[in-house]
A = this chain, B = another copy of it.
């Protein structure tokens, strides 16, 4: 039984964890803050933690990355990309009666066209999370005309109905999650093997980054993501998150990493793992 710490309850993080862990016996440990998700793993109360890492409305990506870099040393053991489907949830009744829609501000923004077309007179009320919106609709049981926007998981959690599904303006909205923890975990489903690197450049940005990418280009290593972030040390000093296609390995790409080292770069392997889509 894997104990998995995750933002929750009623979040997309949870919903995605249930989807991808599927047949793996697991128990979710819902946490209020991302710091608590990490801390549960560090303290041993959880085996693995679920961290939204890109395009998320559950917390701040940059803060999650900063935690991975500065605060904890937990390897990435798996990654999944989960489509975010927004639902209008509440108590059954005609949409015309709805006068307040509660949700996370980003979720409200993602359903702007739906709200304008179908609920033009409803007021939008930003709250702390999509599941908090559902919770408030449940709690204010005596009031009519309330709805929330959120996950199917939050509708189920608070005993509410899905009044309309797939209400997001752009159906291609997906969030990337990584699963971090000390022990490897392999999900028995198809995946693409990747390695995530944290590369700190020795000095000037343009020349050095160009050299780093030369190493990968020469070795025909396919980059799938790159992002620069200022280090906390001083302005003008950068590190990069670089994801590349590479076979699963405890010591991935030894030659390429040795070359980067000889260029004066400091390289940390954040994980070698399988990335899964739905």
Contact = CB atoms under 8 A, between A and B. Distances in A.
Interface in A128-154: 128-129, 132
A38 to B, nearest CB: 10
A199 to B, nearest CB: 12
Contacts of A128: 104-105, 126-128, 132
A167 interface: no
A118 interface: no
A63 B105 CA distance: 11
A207 B220 CA distance: 8
Contact of A210 (B32, B126, B205, B213): B213
A15 interface: no
28 contacts: A33-B108, A33-B112, A33-B124, A33-B126, A35-B112, A55-B60, A59-B106, A63-B106, A63-B109, A63-B110, A126-B128, A126-B132, A127-B128, A128-B132, A206-B213, A206-B216, A206-B220, A206-B222, A206-B223, A207-B217, A209-B223, A209-B226, A210-B210, A210-B213, A225-B228, A226-B227, A227-B227, A227-B228
Interface in A159-191: 170, 172
A33 B214 contact: no
Nearest to A67: B109
Given A109-B34, A170-B232, A216-B206, A127 B124 contact: no
A227 B132 CA distance: 32
A100 interface: no
Chain A interface bracket (under 10, 10 to 19, 20 to 34, 35 or more): 35 or more
Nearest to A233: B172
A105 B32 contact: yes
A56 interface: yes
A228 B228 contact: no
Across chains A and B, which 9 residue pairs bring their CB atoms closest together, nearest first? A126-B128, A60-B106, A210-B217, A55-B62, A210-B213, A127-B128, A35-B109, A227-B227, A206-B223
A60 B84 CA distance: 14
Contacts of A216: 206, 210
Contacts of A226: 209, 226-228
Contacts of A222: 204-206
A210 B214 CA distance: 7
A179 B173 CA distance: 26
A112 to B, nearest CB: 5
A55 B65 CA distance: 10
Nearest to A231: B172
